[in-house]
Chain A
Amino acid sequence: MLTTVLLRRLIFSIPTLLGVATLAFMLGHMSPGDPAIAAMGLDLEGYSSVEPEELERVREELGLNKPILVQYVGWLTRALQGDFGTSYVSTIEVSELVFEALPTTMLLLVMTMSVSIVVGISLGIVSAVFKGRTGDYIARMIAIIGVSTPTFWFALVLMLCFAVAIPIFPVNGSFDEFGWKAMALPTMAIALHPAALIARMMRSSMLEVLSHDMIRTATAKGLSRWRVYMVHGLRNAINPVITVIGFQFANLMGGAVAVEFIFSLPGLGSLLIEGIYEKDILVIQGAVLVIGVAFALSNLLVDLLYMIIDPRIRI
């Protein structure tokens, strides 16, 4: 039954994915500047020195003169086969660039997600269980700070504190160079905001559930507090939290782009920003497409998780 639902959801996500692809293509094309100039390795200064015929030749070569629709269809059919074209600037295949960048971003996102889920849910539970007491105030204080702190600013603060002032972690560098140490600060920087939002949702959802009759039933069975909260309370309170976690994925990607760049982590975010600097259209399109698809798939995953957890919505 779950497989039919899965199949149906997959089919329904095709339009979304197409939309994502279209957006990715357009974003690449709408960004200002002339990709042909970039492809020739020139900046705007050099623009005037280029022979118009020469520029025209490069445009023709790159297919930039074809109607936009033709370019789009061609790009899409190739993208569907995993071919995102060759970078104008570095002349390396975009799929290869993406493939190299993907593990770093995935690792960063998985770590961030895990940290924010564990921290957020714990804080939220502490807050709800000790409602109105010290534990609640501390947890809520952390959550308020977390929600109102911009990710890039927190990243810089972390860098100043724990890489510059007290050099425990590297200022920048990849996982290959420094291992887990390279991931620690970026993870913390991105996790703060989602952790705070998860904590808030967890608190209010848990408080709501703890006032339900079934909690009284569970207590009247003679179960320990721990069991009442964790087995009966948490299980019923977790659904809205999962929704929040799902939505956080979008923010995470945004945060990851900035933070990867700040810490020079060679992930998709850095690839994208470099692509934008270089006016490297195909790189921009490839990176945006992969990020978008990952986002759509993560939403699908959240929906499925929902159905596995809640017996009432398995239709």
Chain B
Amino acid sequence: MSRRYEERFKQLGKLGKKAFIPFTLLGWPNREESLKMIKEMIECEASALELGIAFSDPVADGPVIQKAAYETIASGFSVHDAFELITEVRKLDGSIPIGILVYFNTVLAKGIGSFFSLAKESGVDGILIADLPAENAQEVLPAAETNGIDLIFLVSPVTTPNRLDIILSRASGFLYLVSRLGVTGTMERSTAKDLELRALVDKIRKRSRVPVCAGFGISSQADAERMFEIGVDGVITGSRVIQLAQSSSSCSSGVLKQYFKEMVGASARSNRYEHCDS
């Protein structure tokens, strides 16, 4: 298993901080800008990185990420290019945990064994396969173990208790809490629904020590704060990052920097919620 997630969450815990994990698609809008954007994340002290490999049919993604994926594939940016880019990112920071978010067909097309070893060679710590339910984890488990890569799993508000047990028995790195039903995106959230998630987070806490990070529709400081309030260890934001990059001329412009700083700030202030995790 990779130690980077474990160490990073331990560190944050000691400081009484939460994790801010920004997401972007590798190679979007092009190789250079993508690298700049990720560099910005690191410089703004993101806690970990979640990097997507573009897939033609991303059923868990909303319009923003779909469009970016479509553009990335159309530009000819390949899976090989994605791993090369990760290699460069790893050179920038030897200790930040790097997770990749992929769809299963991308893994199968390379072959499960080669995909995981390519990931390891490029410096990846965790792999989340969006359409591989925990029941089928055994298909990739040996490759993950051989290469010391954490398998990150999704948990949703509608996950049943016996499935939660299956997921928790396989999860490492962190657990990705799908914080609302639906696809990725930046639609309005419901405060009432968010607060209902607390019971789920508590249930996970009782059964597992794996850190819980919430994603799907988390865009603002307020969203993040509400998630910290219900006890999660970190937040993941994706569509908002891509939207901001779209609206600014260059990915290294001040807009993104300011956003990353705000979100990192919200995560650092989170020690007021410390009572939530024990």
A-B complex is real: no
Binding site for A on B (CB under 8 A): none
